[in-house]
Amino acid sequence: MFSCALRYLSSYINKMVPEVVFVLGAPGAGKGTQCSLISKEYGFVHLSAGDLLREERQRPGSEYGEMIEQKIRNGEIVPVEVTCSLLHKAMQKSGQKRFLIDGFPRNKDNLEGWTRVMSDKTTLLFVLFFECSRDLCTERCLGRGAAGSGRSDDNLDSLQKRFNTYLNDTMPIVEHYEQQGLVRKINAEVAPEKVFEDVKKAFDACGLNQLTN
Ligand code: C5P
Ligand code: MG
């Protein structure tokens, strides 16, 4: 809590530095759903690394389209140069100063790439980490696929690979931030409104206020 307050204070002093909250959790933990709620209530810009990669995959003439599709289908992580540059461009284009970065950093390469290029240009407020059992996450993603998500990775085969990547590559990143006291763990097994109650506590504790309207 103390380190969060310190970071918040230093970013308050230098208002030009964009503030970032990383959002991590297993596939199907509800990161996107919660990010929509947060962005509405706290005015953060929601940038999903997965959505930006899917967009780039669809962009006519993209030199990365095929590589991205292959990685997504196999639940593997795209090289950080591609993802970080998409995030950086989206941040600049928004003209805003507060960002929820959803699904990033997902592995060591992501973390190192961000540290190299972005950590001096941003203030990391904290990391929201949504905890949810593998069974429930799988059920949600398969349900999402059956309901027509159109995602090429909401199937059992891809999900198994996505979970392996999550356990082997993403969990060490969560642990890395945990050692720095930056992780806010949220139980994501309950209904979205209930999850959001806990999310709000994390934002309020960091001195971030809900928008008034
Ligand atoms: O977060 P989401 O579930 O939308 O991510 C879908 C896929 O996009 C991941 O399984 C991975 O293949 C790719 N991805 C990535 N690097 C990230 C985030 C997502 O390669 N930082
Ligand atoms: Mg998502």
Helix (H) or strand (E) holding 114: helix 108-117
As for ligand 1, residues whose beta carbon falls within 6 Å of it are 27, 48-50, 53, 71-72, 75-78, 83, 103-104, 106, 110, 153, 162
Q: Which atom of ligand 1 is nearest to the CA of 76?
A: 12
Cα-based distances in Å from 115 to 7, 25, 49, 121: 16, 20, 16, 10
CB 20 within 8 A of CB 7: no
Residue 20 lies in a domain: yes
Give the number of domains in the chain.
Answer: 1
Tell me which residue range forms the domain holding 59: 2-203
Q: Is residue 117 part of a domain?
A: yes
Structure confidence at residue 14 (pLDDT): 60
Residue 208 lies in a domain: no
Is there a domain that residue 211 lies in? no
Please tell me the distance between residue 13's alpha carbon and the centre of ligand 2 in angstroms: 32
Residue 19 lies in a domain: yes
Q: Which atom of ligand 1 is nearest to the CA of 71?
A: 12
Nearest atom in ligand 1 to the alpha carbon of residue 106 is 21
Mutate to test the pocket of ligand 1, among 35, 36, 53, 68 (most ligand atoms within 8 A of CB): 53
pLDDT digits (tens, 9 = 90+) for 83-103: 999 999 999 999 999 999 999
User: How confident is the model over 5-19, as pLDDT tens digits?
Assistant: 777 776 666 667 999
Tokens read off for 141: 């993603």
pTM: 0.93
Q: Is 30 left (phi over 0), alpha (psi -120 to 50) or beta?
A: left
* Residue 157 pLDDT: 96
Task: Give residue 12's pLDDT.
Answer: 63
* CATH code for the domain in which residue 44 is found: 3.40.50.300
| DSSP 3-state of 154 | coil
Q: Is residue 97 part of a domain?
A: yes
Which residue is listed with tokens 């209904």?
Answer: 191
Q: How far apart are the CA of 2 and the centre of ligand 1, in A?
A: 31
Written as six digits, the tokens of 125 are 């407020």
Pick the residue whose CA is nearest to atom 10 on ligand 1.
Answer: 75
Residues of the chain with pLDDT under 50: none
Looking at the CA of 110, which ligand is closest? 1
Place of tokens 């810009």: 45
Positive or negative: CA dihedral 137, 57, 106, 210: negative
Mutation test residue for ligand 1: of 35, 106, 118, the one with most atoms within 8 Å of CB: 106
194: Cα separation from own chain's centroid: 20
Evaluate whether residue 109 is within a structural domain: yes
3-state secondary structure of 190: coil
160 domain residue, yes or no: yes
Which residue, by CA, sits nearest to atom 16 of ligand 1? 77
